C-alpha cells in the first residue's frame, strides 16, 4: 500500500483571496514504511509574500521570485503522488483546497477529497479533548521536532510521517507474510516479498541420546492412534 505524507506552505489562508502555495513537501510510505523517496518544491506565488507569512515560513520575495510557477511543476507533482495513493495530511481540508485551486488554475485534474487521510481528525478521535497540533503530537509520541523553528513543507512531512505511524499503532511492517505477487510496489506493479529459506546446513540436534530414547519409549506407550504415529 502506497501513501504520500504531504504538507504545503502558503502565503495566507484562502486561495479565494488570492493566496498561493509557496512550498510543497511530500514523503512516500510503502506498507507504512518510508521508502526514502521524497518530493520537494519551492514555488513562485506570483504575488508579494505577506509579512506574517514570511515570519512563519522564513521565505522571502527575493528567494521565491526565481522559483518556478505552480503551472510549471504541476505535472511533476501529480506524477509523484500518482493517481490513487492516499494523501496523509494534517488538517487536510486546508492543503486540499489550495492544491485543487492551484491545479484548477493550471488546467490540471483535481484531486478527489476522498484521497485525503486527515491526521488531525485521527488524533482528535484518538485523544478527545487533548491538543492535536503537530507540535503537540510530537511531544506526545516523543518525535524530535527540534529543527522545526520555521514551518517547512518537507521537514513537516517527515515529522508528520513519524507521527502518523505512531497514531496508527507504530511501525508494523508485515514481515513478508503477504502472499507472493500480491504486494503492490510504489510504481503500481507487484513485487515479490521476502521469504525465509531453509538453512544450507541443518542445525544439529540438541537432544541427548538418553532424552531421545526416553521420548520414543513414551510415544510407543501411546499406541498406534496417537498423533505422533499418524503424522510421523
Residue of 171 and 18 predicted with greater confidence: 18
Instruction: Taking residues 209-220, report their average pLDDT.
Output: 81
Q: Mean pLDDT lowest for which of 43-52, 117-126, 184-193?
A: 184-193
| CATH number for the domain formed by residue range(s) 2-190 | 3.30.420.10
pLDDT given for residue 153 in this prediction: 92
pLDDT given for residue 181 in this prediction: 41
Q: Is 156 helix (H, G, I), strand (E, B) or coil?
A: helix
Decide if pLDDT at 125 tops 60: yes
Decide if pLDDT at 63 tops 70: yes
19 tagged catalytic: no
Q: From the candidates 19, 57, 151, 215, which is the catalytic residue?
A: 151
Average pLDDT value over all residues in the chain: 85
Decide if pLDDT at 191 tops 70: no
Q: Which residues have a Cβ under 8 Å from the Cβ of 12 and sit 6 or more positions away?
A: 18, 19, 50, 53
Q: Mean pLDDT lowest for which of 18-27, 71-80, 202-211?
A: 202-211
Q: Which residues have a Cβ under 8 Å from the Cβ of 197 and sit 6 or more positions away?
A: none
* Domain extent listing, the chain: 2-190
**This prediction's pTM:** 0.72
Residue of 187 and 29 predicted with greater confidence: 29
Residue of 164 and 220 predicted with greater confidence: 164
Report the relative pairing of strands 116-118 and 86-89 from DSSP bridges.
parallel
With cut-offs at 50, 70 and 90, classify the pLDDT of residue 187: very low
pLDDT given for residue 28 in this prediction: 97
Q: Mean pLDDT lowest for which of 19-33, 134-148, 199-213?
A: 199-213
Round to whole Å and give the CA distance between 61 and 176.
49
Amino acid at each position: 500500500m502506497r501513501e504520500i505524507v504531504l504538507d504545503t506552505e502558503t502565503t495566507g489562508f484562502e486561495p479565494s483571496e488570492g493566496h498561493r502555495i509557496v512550498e510543497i513537501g511530500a514523503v512516500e510510505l510503502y506498507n507504512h514504511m518510508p521508502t526514502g523517496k521524497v518530493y520537494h518544491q519551492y514555488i513562485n506565488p506570483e504575488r508579494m509574500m505577506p509579512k506574517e507569512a514570511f515570519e512563519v515560513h522564513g521565505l522571502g520575495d527575493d528567494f521565491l521570485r526565481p522559483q518556478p510557477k505552480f503551472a510549471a511543476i504541476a505535472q511533476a507533482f501529480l506524477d509523484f503522488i500518482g493517481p490513487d495513493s492516499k494523501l496523509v495530511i494534517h488538517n487536510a481540508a486546508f492543503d486540499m483546497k489550495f492544491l485543487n485551486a492551484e491545479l484548477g488554475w493550471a488546467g490540471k485534474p483535481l484531486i478527489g477529497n476522498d484521497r485525503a487521510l486527515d491526521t488531525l481528525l485521527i488524533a482528535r478521535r484518538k485523544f478527545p479533548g487533548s491538543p492535536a497540533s503537530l507540535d503537540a503530537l510530537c511531544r506526545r509520541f516523543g518525535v524530535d521536532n527540534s529543527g522545526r523553528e520555521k514551518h517547512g513543507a518537507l521537514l513537516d512531512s517527515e515529522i508528520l510521517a513519524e507521527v502518523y505511524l505512531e497514531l496508527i499503532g507504530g511501525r508494523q511492517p508485515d514481515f513478508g507474510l503477504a502472499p507472493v505477487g500480491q504486494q503492490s510496489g510504489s510504481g503500481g506493479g507487484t513485487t515479490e516479498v521476502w521469504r525465509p529459506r531453509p538453512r544450507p546446513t541443518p542445525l544439529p540436534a540438541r537432544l541427548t541420546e538418553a532424552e531421545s530414547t526416553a521420548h520414543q519409549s513414551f510415544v510407543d506407550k501411546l499406541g498406534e492412534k496417537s498423533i505422533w504415529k499418524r503424522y510421523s
